[in-house]
């Protein structure tokens, strides 16, 4: 390639402008081919195939190698990837996808509707977490020709729900590499994925790195720009921040650095620290109440606990600009479902909290203590740990003694969702673009014991159950949104779980990266248009 | 030959110990709430109860604890370490992949600590209660008191971020392809900071032991004899004192080889090295019993091997040990 003096000067000027005011030149310069993009990979998974495991830890790698039927565009609307168009029958029981032609797997075999049918019936419906629930009523996928897949459902499937769920739960695997190859879960390709995506898997050194190279036969013209992506396994958050500063890592996704490093690097012109590109991965901090405790079964006590916590103070002093006051189980970034009225909000009011506790009949005993509760904070992030301490101190002011019991991931899930050995639990509720995917299971009764992130509170409300069931099969988008509004107001009134803080994951990325953070689930997306400036 | 039979007897005695340790670790992990399927669910961010049940059967977790333990020991007797739940491959393969980094880090850190400790200890003892002694002892104390993660991070800030002399982490540079000598040099560059970080903490211990042991030996009668023979101070120290003062140092190496295997978790995490310590930590968090027991087994073998070498070194340093007096 030849660079003229003028071009070089202009590029340097553009970069200088970018460093100073990145938003000015966002996506304007001509993309540069080549370069190695390095990514912080904090927690190694047992799985890299996104058709089998739905989690950001898998998408951050598998999402560049394998592709889904649809993704979300810059405005959060479904856009075709392996599917070109779709259509639902009026009764909502049949949904037809027209598939993209001329797409090949990394091994050269053509991608067809048989792959879609095989993946849907054997992976999404049987193995994929959240997929098993989403596709519970999927009876068959017909393949009238190689580029048409017809999904048949026993009960109506809202097209909107499916299209908002499929960016995460709609990754396709190759039938010829999985069929008759033994147990799908044990297929060695799960750790060496083969897909249709812009990058081809090269190597995985456990504990060190994963490498994927540019797919020269990718179906999008002139894409991708990068030559290679390297994911570096760095478990220590402070060390990851140091490697970003040393230039060894370009991108740390999903709030992978400590809160203090995020604040520090956000002032450094070499980096962009932002929630942009993570709107599809909103989460709320939760307080889960165990109704098996008679104190907590009393709604006045649950409301008193909510009133006793000064959430704006906590956010301002501990979480900073990347968090805000939550209003309910559906976060405000969900443009499709966020209700105009969220119901009761429980502002900080210590006197009211004391009054409610007195009314409930839990008088302060010796030393001012009314009763003690065990609080189990989830180990997912330092914000939860800080919040647990904040709850402990705030509640001791109103006479509730809190014992914090800390566990690692497996221990937390076992104790809360299986042994029910908690009074209060605090963790994250992950919202996945539609409340039916991973939100309503927190409230719907009849969840089998041991299923994590489901209603294990011993709380049943037939009215809420009915709204949840109706909304799951309601094909009219307007009516669905109204039902979910009713759901949010209902659960905010009954308060089986409180969702006081809303957060979006924070991206830290080197300012040399271009075309990044341009969709609501960018960290999980395929990065076909990502490029690195000199 | 006596030393070999001595070491052989030690070796035989360590086998029952090894089994007791393995059973102990197995039972300890049973007390931790949750199993590998819970840990997997935590990583996945969700899963239904039916899947969990199927996975438990798959990993053999539906059996009773006693049955699981008997199965494990029976496989161990046949030298089969089992299958790793998190890595999806045999435990032996997983551990063998991690051994080179661990052994490299351990040997370089231990030799650094040993030789620097030896030299500094000798200097401190020769100038006891003068300024070099005070300086060395103070520095030793500072290194010993400093948490290794902090020291590691500070080293990264200075040498990787500000000076940009050394890489901030990893085992080798993967964005460039190296081979032969340049690969060796590249790995050495990556291991320099972690070895120093790990070594400095142990350095303090070696330094103090060496100093104390030198001071003790310097007061013994044979040193006075050597001096009265008219030997100069250097040959007194090197030929007579050092050799005798080295025995406690050699004992310490045997003891610390084990500590270093486990104690490097922090250093491995800070420098993103693929070592056994991090593997062990991950196995605990993921409740991967087979991998954890495999690591305990291999570490125990390493410790036994190091102690065997230490026994041989004793005999070389002090012939009285072999004569069985």
Q: Is B163 on the interface with A (CB under 8 A)?
A: no
Instruction: Tell me the C-alpha distance between A294 and A274, whole Å.
Output: 43
A127 interfaces chain B, CB cutoff of 8 Å? yes
Dist CA A244 CA A254 (whole Å): 15
Nearest residue in A to B45, CA atom: A55
DSSP SS3 for A159 = helix
Chosen for mutation from A52, A193, A239 (greatest number of chain B CBs closer than 10 Å) is: A239
A residues 50-89 closer than 8 Å to B (CB): 53-57
Tell me, yes or no, if B32 comes closer than 8 A to chain A by beta carbon. yes
CA distance B36 to chain A (A): 7
Each residue's pLDDT tens digit, A458-476: 999 999 999 999 999 898 9
A510-525: average pLDDT: 94
Q: What is the pLDDT of residue A522?
A: 95
* Whether A451 contacts chain B with CB within 8 A: yes
What's the rounded mean pLDDT across residues A327-351?
A: 94
Name the DSSP letter for residue B158. Answer: I
* pLDDT category of residue B65 using cuts at 50, 70 and 90: confident
- Picking from B46, B149, B168, the nearest residue to A248 by CB comes out as B168
**pLDDT of A4-45, one tens digit each?**
444 444 444 444 444 444 444 444 578 999 999 999 998 888
- Reply yes or no on whether the pLDDT at B87 is more than 90: no
pLDDT, mean of residues A309-323 = 93
Q: Which whole number is the average pLDDT over B89-110? A: 88
> What is the pLDDT, as a whole number, of residue A122?
95
Tell me how far the alpha carbon of residue A1 is from its chain's centroid: 41
Q: Alpha-carbon distance A288 to B106, whole Å?
A: 46
pLDDT higher at B180 or A464: A464
Q: Please check whether residue B54 touches A, CB under 8 A.
A: no
Q: Which of B49, B272, B287 sits opposite A410 (nearest CB)?
A: B287
Nearest to B113 by CA among B238, B207, B185: B207
Percentage, residues of chain B above pLDDT 70: 96
What pLDDT score does B3 carry?
67
Question: Are the beta carbons of A46 and B35 separated by less than 8 Å?
Answer: no
Yes or no: say if A384 and A428 are a contact pair by the CB < 8 Å rule.
yes
A423-460 pLDDT, tens digit per residue, is 999 999 999 889 998 899 999 998 888 888 999 999 99
With CB atoms and an 8 Å threshold, state whether A407 touches B285: no
Using the beta-carbon criterion (under 8 Å), do A239 and B287 form an inter-chain contact? no
B32, B274, B287: residue with CB nearest A208: B274
Residue of chain A with shortest Cα separation from B165: A246
Instruction: Output the six-digit token pair for A497.
Output: 């779980």
What pLDDT score does A4 carry?
Answer: 45
Query: For testing the chain B interface, which of A34, A41, A46, A235 should be mutated: the one with the most B CBs within 10 Å?
Result: A46
Decide if pLDDT at B41 tops 60.
yes
Task: Please give the DSSP secondary-structure letter assigned to residue B288.
Answer: -
User: For position A526, what pLDDT does the model report?
Assistant: 95
Chain B positions touching A430 (Cβ under 8 A) are: 45
How confident is the model at residue A275, as a pLDDT? 92
Question: Of A229-233, B85-89, B313-317, which one has max mean pLDDT?
Answer: A229-233
B55 near B40, Cβ under 8 Å?
Answer: yes
CA A284 – CA A348 distance, rounded (Å) = 18
Residue with tokens 């008219």: B230
Range from A155-169, B46-60, B229-243 that averages highest in pLDDT: A155-169
Q: How far is B87 from chain A (nearest CA, A)?
A: 6
Average pLDDT in chain A: 91
Q: Is A332 on the interface with B (CB under 8 A)?
A: no
**Of A57, A211, A451, Cβ closest to residue B43:** A57
B322: pLDDT confidence band, cut at 50, 70 and 90? Answer: low
Of the ranges A379-393, A488-502, B181-195, which one carries the lowest mean pLDDT score?
B181-195
CA-based angle A402:A408:A411, to the nearest 5? 85
State the average pLDDT over residues B2-26. 80
- Contact A410/B at CB under 8 A: yes
Band the pLDDT of A308: cuts 50, 70, 90: very high
Predicted complex ipTM: 0.82
What letter does residue B165 receive in the DSSP assignment?
-
Average pLDDT rounded to a whole number, residues B271-291 = 88
Task: Tell whether the model's pLDDT for residue B306 goes beyond 50.
Answer: yes
Least confident of A356-360, B90-94, B249-253: B249-253
Selected residue with higher pLDDT from B176 and A201: A201
Q: What does the pLDDT read at residue B1?
A: 62
């Amino acid at each position: 390639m030849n660079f003229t003096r003028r071009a070089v000067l202009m590029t340097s000027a553009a970069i200088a402008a970018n460093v100073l005011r990145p938003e000015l030149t966002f996506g304007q310069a001509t993309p540069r081919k080549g370069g190695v993009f390095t990514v912080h990979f904090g927690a190694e998974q047992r799985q890299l195939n996104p058709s089998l495991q739905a989690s950001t830890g898998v998408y951050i790698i598998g999402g560049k190698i394998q592709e889904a039927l649809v993704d979300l565009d810059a405005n959060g609307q479904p856009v075709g990837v392996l599917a070109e168009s779709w259509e639902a029958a009026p009764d909502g029981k049949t949904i037809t996808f027209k598939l993209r032609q001329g797409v090949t797997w990394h091994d050269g075999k053509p991608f067809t509707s048989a792959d879609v049918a095989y993946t849907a019936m054997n992976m999404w419906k049987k193995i994929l977490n959240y997929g098993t629930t989403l596709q519970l009523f999927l009876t068959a996928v017909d393949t009238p020709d190689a580029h048409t897949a017809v999904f048949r459902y026993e009960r109506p499937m809202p097209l909107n729900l499916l299209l908002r769920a499929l960016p995460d739960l709609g990754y396709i695997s190759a039938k010829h590499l999985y069929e008759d190859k033994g147990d799908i879960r044990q297929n060695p390709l799960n750790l060496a994925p083969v897909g249709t995506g812009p990058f081809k898997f090269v190597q995985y050194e456990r504990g060190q790195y994963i490498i994927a190279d540019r797919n020269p036969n990718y179906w999008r013209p002139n894409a991708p720009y990068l030559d290679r992506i390297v994911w570096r396994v760095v478990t220590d958050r402070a060390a990851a921040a140091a490697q970003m500063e040393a230039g060894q890592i370009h991108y740390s996704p999903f709030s992978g650095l400590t809160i203090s490093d995020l604040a520090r690097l956000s002032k450094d012109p070499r980096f962009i620290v932002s929630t942009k590109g993570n709107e599809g991965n909103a989460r709320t901090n939760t307080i889960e109440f165990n109704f098996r405790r008679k104190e907590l079964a009393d709604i006045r006590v649950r409301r008193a606990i909510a009133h006793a916590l000064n959430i704006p103070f906590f956010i301002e002093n501990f979480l900073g600009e990347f968090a805000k006051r939550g209003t309910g189980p559906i976060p405000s970034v969900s443009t499709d479902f966020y209700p105009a009225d969220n119901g009761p909000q429980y502002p900080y009011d210590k006197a009211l909290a004391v009054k409610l506790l007195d009314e409930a009949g839990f008088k302060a005993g010796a030393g001012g203590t009314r009763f003690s509760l065990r609080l189990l904070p989830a180990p997912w992030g330092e914000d939860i740990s800080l919040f647990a301490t904040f709850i402990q101190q705030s509640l001791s002011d109103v006479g509730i003694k809190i014992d914090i019991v800390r566990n690692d991931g497996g221990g937390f899930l076992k104790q809360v969702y299986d042994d029910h050995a908690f009074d209060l639990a605090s963790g994250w509720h992950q919202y996945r673009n539609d409340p039916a995917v991973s939100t309503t299971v927190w409230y719907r009764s009849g969840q089998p014991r041991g299923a994590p992130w489901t209603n294990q509170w011993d709380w049943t409300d037939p009215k809420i159950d009915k709204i949840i069931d109706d909304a799951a099969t309601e094909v009219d988008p307007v009516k669905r949104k109204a039902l979910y509004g009713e759901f949010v107001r209902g659960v905010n009134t009954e308060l089986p779980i409180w969702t006081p803080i809303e957060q979006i994951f924070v991206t830290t990325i080197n300012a040399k990266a271009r075309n990044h953070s341009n969709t609501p689930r960018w960290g999980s997306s395929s990065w076909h248009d990502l490029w690195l400036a000199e | 030959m006596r030393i070999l039979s001595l070491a052989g007897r030690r070796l035989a005695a360590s086998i029952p110990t090894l089994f007791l340790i393995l059973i102990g670790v197995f039972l300890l992990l049973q007390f931790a709430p949750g199993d590998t399927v819970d840990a997997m669910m935590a990583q996945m961010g969700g899963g239904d109860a039916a899947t969990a049940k199927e996975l438990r059967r798959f990993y053999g977790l539906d059996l009773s604890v006693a049955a699981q333990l008997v199965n494990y020991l029976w496989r161990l007797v046949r030298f089969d370490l089992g299958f790793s739940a998190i890595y999806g491959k045999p435990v032996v393969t997983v551990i063998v992949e991690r051994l080179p980094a661990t052994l490299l880090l351990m040997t370089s850190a231990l030799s650094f600590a040993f030789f620097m400790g030896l030299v500094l200890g000798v200097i401190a003892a020769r100038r006891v209660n003068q300024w070099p002694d005070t300086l060395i002892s103070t520095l030793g104390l500072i290194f010993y008191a400093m948490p290794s993660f902090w020291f590691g991070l500070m080293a990264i800030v200075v040498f990787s971020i500000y000076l940009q002399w050394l890489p901030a982490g990893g085992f080798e540079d993967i964005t460039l392809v190296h081979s032969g000598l340049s690969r060796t040099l590249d790995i050495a560059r990556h291991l320099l900071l972690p070895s120093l970080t790990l070594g400095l903490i142990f350095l303090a211990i070696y330094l103090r032991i060496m100093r104390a042991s030198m001071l003790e030996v310097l007061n013994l009668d044979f040193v006075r004899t050597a001096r009265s023979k008219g030997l100069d101070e250097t040959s007194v120290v090197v030929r007579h004192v050092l050799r005798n003062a080295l025995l406690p140092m050699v004992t310490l190496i045997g003891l610390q080889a084990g500590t270093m295997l486990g104690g490097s978790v922090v250093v491995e995490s800070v420098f993103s090295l693929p070592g056994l310590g991090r593997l062990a930590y991950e196995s605990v968090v993921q409740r991967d019993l087979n991998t954890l027991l495999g690591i305990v087994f291999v570490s125990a073998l390493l410790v036994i091997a190091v102690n065997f070498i230490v026994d041989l070194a004793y005999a070389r340093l002090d012939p009285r040990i072999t004569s069985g007096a």
